[in-house]
A and B are shown apart, each in its own frame.
Chain A
Amino acid sequence: MPLKILIVEDDPKTSEAICSGLSSENFSVTPALTGDEAEVRLREEAFDLILLDWMLPGASGIEILGNTRLRGIRTPVLLLTARDAVEDRVLGLDSGADDYLVKPFAFAELLARIRVLLRRTSRETALQHQIADLHLDLTSRQVRCGGAEILLTPREFEVLHFLMRAEGEVVTRAMLAREVWREPNRSTPLDNVIDVHLARLRKKIDEGRPSKLIHTIRGVGYLCADKRLSSPGKPSE
């Protein structure tokens, strides 16, 4: 049974894009375009996750959040907003949101956050990852390809680990910068650095391999997957 997500977003285009994106990831989505509609939906149904826009016609996202929590509903809430000042983040999280995503965001990022909130995957905590014949062992910090060890720098290892952990999901540069380089700020030359690292990593992993494992999704980021097994819903190159 698919997980149910309520999407409270007043901009129809954004709402539609998110709904369609999440549907193709096999979620069951319910859109609500106003705060009042969201309140009604929340009374009628139980959801596994709520995507909540802050600025809404009718009741604001923060109010809905307050009401929901007052009624004892502990459903995880991911707050979406264009307000990214530090005090806004604090207010959002204090009001009971579980995570906070600043618009505009990459869909890949949204998906990653949703998966974290739903704790659907055990890949997060796994100590070993395997894609095709590529094997990563977190304990020994070794990467093997069909038995032969591939020597990676510590940074390359962390990048590969992050990509493999999110197997099949697109990883944006912003996510890599934040998670691997611990650099939340976007106005740094890190994107160039990430590209260089990815190019080197790809050279070490994919050279001489008939079917590549590391893919560039133009305009979005990178993806690590064995495309021979890719499902029809997934992008193919």
Chain B
Amino acid sequence: MKMGLQAAAGSDGSWWRRRSLKLRLALWFSLIACTLVLGLLPVAYYQIERRLGIDLDHQMEIDWVLIEAHLEADEAGGVRWKKDSPSTLESGGYSESWFDVWSDSTPLMSHTPRGGVPIQTPPRQLQSGEAFYSLVFSGEREARVLQKSAQISGRSVTLRVFRDRSNLRETLRQVLWVFVLGVPVAILLAATGGYFMAGRAMRPIVAMTERARLITSESLGQRLPNPNPHDELGQLATVFNGTLERLENSFESLRRFTADASHELRTPLMALRSVGEIALRESGDAAELRETIGSMLEEAQRLHDLADTLLMLARVEGGRTPIALERVDLGELVEGVVESIEVLAAEKGQKIEVASPDQVITIVADRTLLRQATMNLLHNAIRYSPIGSTVRIHCRLNMGAAEIEVADEGPGIAAEHREKVFERFYRIDKARSRAEGGAGLGLALAKVFVEQCGGTIHLSSEVDQGSRFCIRLSRRDCAPA
């Protein structure tokens, strides 16, 4: 079984999907860094190379002008370095420059820097506008040449200035090395940085996971840590905590329901049993035995009714009871309900006031369910109202919805009980006996029935000010008359 699961996990999802999110983020960072670096470096290299070439040409143009200015014709018809020049051929500015002067194809003067190899190629025939070119000398060295015609002492000659390009190439090679060595380092840094940053970003998630792992049905009161509710993780935590709260509430309801249901079921069972056992032990006469059996039957009936009610609740809620929708006149329905159970109010000296609407209010609902819901609300009001008080039942239209409101002059319901009174078996006064209050299912039934009819049930109440239960039914799905 375990093997099977592992095999399934192995076949399902690629290697990539099985890595941690942290690692995947780091790898993504590295990939992006790699692309960026590899894309940008050639551009940078090309730019550096161009700039260095332009700089060299500028330098040579300056060299050329300076050298031209320092040359003069000599007596033998040649060209020489000016005798009265403050700088000499060995001065800093010229020591690295080659230059030569030609008159047509006759060399007039040539200068080679110290330690340099002489360049002995005649000037080229150049296109007009062209001045720079490169040439190879002494085998492998490359020289940059600026060749222009110059006027020296009124004589037209060709002056060439040379610079060795090997230095530039050396610089470029160094740049390349820096790049080649730097790229892996940069990518590595991006990966490491990415990994740690992802780790940092994931830390709240890890903390949430740890906490969530500890939350069981026994500790639903715990919540996820939420240091910053504004960012995405904070929102996730808020949503998760909301879910936990609802879960806790439903668990709590379920627990209460189980406890209450077992109490409600055990009480009549216990009574049945003990009454029977005691009757067996004592030797009573026939009348006494009949009394005992009657009492046992009463408890059996109570169990029977309870089981029926719970079954019906489960059925209606599970949608297994067909809902028979029909047009229902609310005023008529309320009158029927009042007529049915007003004797209960009369027994307590209570008055039921029916406020009928001016017009006929018709809605589409399941008549039986709605009738029972209304009956339960009214019965509840009668049961919890003091002797001699008035119960008001009122049906009306309110903002497009039809409402049946039952208001009593009872003790009211404190805020902490308001939501729970609709839960099964919920009793505000735990000490209240079954004889006074029912099994605690009336309001739960009313709520379920009303909801099956597509309506809602509301309670507004203040302690010592009575309670108002209101059934609200939307009329929008009401068929046209």
| Chain A residues close to B by CB (< 8 Å) | 84-86, 104, 181, 183, 185-193, 196-197, 200, 217-220, 235
Contacts and interface: CB of A to CB of B under 8 A. Distances in A.
A188 B296 contact: no
Interface in B282-313: 290-291, 293-301, 304-305, 308-309, 311-312
Contacts of B309: 186-187
Interface residues of B, number: 36
A187 B343 contact: no
B320 interface: yes
A186 B308 contact: yes
B375 A188 contact: yes
Helix, strand, loop or mixed for chain A's interface? loop
Given A187-B305, A219-B301, A193 B344 contact: yes
Contact of B341 (A193, A218, A219): A193
Nearest to A193: B341
Contacts, number: 68
Would you list the 8 A-B pairs with minimal beta carbon distance, nearest first? A219-B297, A218-B294, A189-B379, A187-B309, A219-B294, A219-B298, A196-B343, A186-B308
User: Which of B301, B305, B322 gathers most chain A CB within 10 Å?
Assistant: B301
A70 B421 CA distance: 54
B347 A196 contact: yes
B372 A185 contact: yes
Contact of A235 (B290, B301, B343): B290
Contacts of B301: 219
Interface of B: 290-291, 293-301, 304-305, 308-309, 311-312, 315, 320-322, 340-341, 343-344, 346-347, 368, 372, 375-376, 379, 438, 441-442, 445
A189 B297 contact: no
B293 A219 contact: yes
Nearest to A86: B322
Contacts of A85: 315, 320
5 contacts: A189-B376, A189-B438, A190-B340, A217-B294, A219-B300
Given A188-B372, A192-B379, A219-B296, 12 more contacts: A85-B320, A86-B321, A183-B340, A185-B368, A187-B445, A189-B341, A189-B376, A189-B438, A196-B347, A218-B291, A219-B293, A219-B297
Nearest to A154: B339
Given A86-B321, A185-B372, A187-B372, A192 B344 contact: yes
A218 B312 contact: no
Given A104-B304, A187-B305, A187-B441, A220 B320 contact: no
Nearest to B339: A155
A107 to B, nearest CB: 10
Contacts of A193: 340-341, 343-344
A219 B295 contact: yes
B262 to A, nearest CB: 19
A232 to B, nearest CB: 13
Contacts of B375: 188-189
